[in-house]
Amino acid sequence: MPKVVRFGISLEKNLLGKFDRLIREKNYTNRSEAFRDLIREDLVKAEWKKNKEIVGAITLIYDHHKRELVNKLMDIQHDFGELIISSQHIHLDHNNCLEIIAVKGFSKEAQKLADSLKSVKGVKHGTLSLSTTGKDI
């Protein structure tokens, strides 16, 4: 049996209250269990971010009327040309676009590209999903 240790954590009361409600909804029986899962998930994510070969998808939501935005997104993508396979563009409504960029390469580069795109002024939301190339599974 793995050795268990106990330690103390300080949190804003308000935040802890919300967290307690959430873990009750998720049917955890105590906080330690919930923390264990959060930590595991975080370690897995950290593992992905190590510089290994991945495929991934970057999603961006933006208002295409912001002129410079569209050009900047396009320029950044061409700068990371080798990394990007293709992208899918969906006109959500008269203003908003969803762009999903398929990438293949090293995770650090993918992270860098995602960060560059998300930091363009006017991008409303961005995500990066990393996945395996499938070769080793």
23-52 residues in contact with a second copy (CB under 8 A) are 25, 31-32, 35-36, 38-40, 42-43, 46
69-108 residues in contact with a second copy (CB under 8 A) are 70-71, 74-75, 77-78, 81, 84-98, 100, 102, 104
Interacting residue with a second copy among 12, 27, 29, 121 (CB under 8 A): 12
Distance, CA of 65 to CA of 69 (rounded, Å):
8
Helical (H) or strand (E) element with 35 = helix 31-49
* ∠ CA 66-68-74, rounded to 5°: 110
CB of 19 to a second copy, least distance (A): 5
Distance, CA of 41 to CA of 53 (rounded, Å):
20
Interacting residue with a second copy among 29, 116, 117, 134 (CB under 8 A): 134
CB of 33 to a second copy, least distance (A): 9
CB of 21 to a second copy, least distance (A): 9
* CB-facing half-sphere around the CA of 64: CA atoms within 13 A: 12
Residue 40, exposed/middle/buried by CB under 10 A (0-12, 13-18, 19+)? exposed
Contact flags string 49-68 toward a second copy, x per CB under 8 A: ------xxx-x-xxxx--x-
- Could you tell me how many residues of this chain bind a second copy (CB under 8 A)? 76
Are residues 116 and 69 in contact, defined by beta-carbon separation less than 8 angstroms?
no
CB of 116 to a second copy, least distance (A): 15
